[in-house]
Amino acid sequence: MKPYRFLPIEDCGEPLVPIPAGRIGLWQPPPYQALGAPYAQLGPYHLRQGVLTALLAAQDHLEKHHPGWRLLVYDAYRPVTVQRYMVDYTLQTLIATRKLVASALTVNQCEALLAEVYQVWAVPSDDPRTPPPHSTGAAVDLTLMDGAGRPADMGSAIDELSPRSLPDYFAPAGPVPDARYYELRSLLNQVMTGVGFVRHPEEWWHFSLGDQLWAWQLGRPAARYGRVGD
């Protein structure tokens, strides 16, 4: 179990609110909906009110220094049912990609494959004390969109199961130095952390504000947002 999941939660009760498409770019179609993920009443482009306020401040900061650029949200609110669906979808995709037969896998092989999946996907826990970050409405997956409206090439795809997902993979002292990707990832990190978000240690695209991961990274005694919705 990841260490941040042991932190207590003192939910402040803020509502989930929609992300305004006019100011923030929203990936279309929503990636997990396109794969058949079972969203209920609310789609993915919602955040807690305080998290959205910070995200809009990050957009203002980005545009001030890079006119015409926008944040492009890939995914935000994610019910536990969707989390469970995507964990299974990713596992099945991994099995198919490696030309394995699911029914022939040993227990150890299944555990090893799931360990790879859980490098990117949080455990879809039903326990309200250990919610997946996105189920709290306090986590957002996003990238940059340039002045021509094109998603920036960040060196790897969001949700990619590879070491390239590590934020500093392309840093000068990283495994494969590449100034282009490192500078873009650094820019995204700067505009987000500058308004209070923290970046996931193993995912260049994932940022949180107020959930257990955020509290753990900042040394806070408790999270401000817990699981919301189904």
Residues with active-site annotation? 203
Tokens at 101, concatenated: 């037969």
CA atoms 101, 106, 110, 116: torsion sign: negative
95, 133, 164 from 172: Cα distances, Å: 34, 30, 14
| CA atoms of 54 and 193, how far apart (whole Å) | 10
* DSSP conformation letters of 20-77: PTTTSEE-SS-HHHHTT----SS-S-EEEHHHHHHHHHHHHHHHHHSTT-EEEEEE--
Alpha-carbon distance of 3 to 204, in angstroms, equals 19
The first and second tokens of residue 124, run together, are 């879809």
Q: Do 139 and 199 touch, CB atoms closer than 8 A?
A: no
Residue 121's closest CA among 154, 85, 167?
A: 85
Place of tokens 């469970």: 84
